[in-house]
A = this chain, B = another copy of it.
Amino acid sequence: MYQALREHIEKITPLSEDEFAFVCTHFSIKKFKKHQFLVQEGEEVKYSYFVVSGLLKLVHTDDTGKQRVVSFAMEDWWESDYYAYFTQTKATMSLECIEDTETLCLLLEDYKKLCDSLPKMQRFFLEKANFGFIGSQRRIISWLTSNSKERYEQLIKQYPSLIQRVPKSLLAAYLGVSRETLSRLSP
């Protein structure tokens, strides 16, 4: 479990044995079954989750009960309702398993401790946050400039392995189209 985290962090910054052992003390292991909730709308958000194996969806439900997929998270990705996590407010989204999922979980308190005591981990989180921002911005650009067919093609190109694992109904909810429209777009 922890080896995956080490390899993930070391893509950005090397860690000594002692540093890695120290980092590990801040995480706990949590395993979830398919359809289980990691975060539930209206409840407290305790953790930021690093996905070791499996697949998650971050879901927003509007006033009429219509669900939209804000993002997916698979191996090597971090996920949570980050607004609720960082501001310690109630979740406005839910985080659910599409497959059985193993995670390493980080309390906000431990995130802060890790940043304060190990500057290279703060650097690591800064790089993840910067590229998370850039990724969201690219998705906004794709909304502004592309139609649903083009967005679907971009998604296939960017995350070919994700497409294989995600049910079509969820892909439709991610792209903001109906299940029927998606069928017409599929090759």
Contact = CB atoms under 8 A, between A and B. Distances in A.
B123 A68 contact: no
Given A115-B123, A122-B119, A141 B70 contact: yes
Contacts of A137: 70-71, 82-83, 136
B136 A140 contact: yes
Interface string A139-165: 111011100000000000000000000
Copies in the complex: 2
Interface stretch (A21-29, A34-42, A49-57, A125-133): A125-133
A48 to B, nearest CB: 10
A62 interface: yes
A141 B61 CA distance: 10
A141 B82 contact: no
Contacts of A82: 130, 133-134, 137
Given A66-B145, A68-B144, A126 B122 contact: yes
A169 to B, nearest CB: 15
Across the A-B interface, the 8 shortest Cβ-Cβ residue pairs: A136-B136, A129-B129, A68-B144, A133-B133, A132-B133, A126-B126, A62-B145, A83-B134
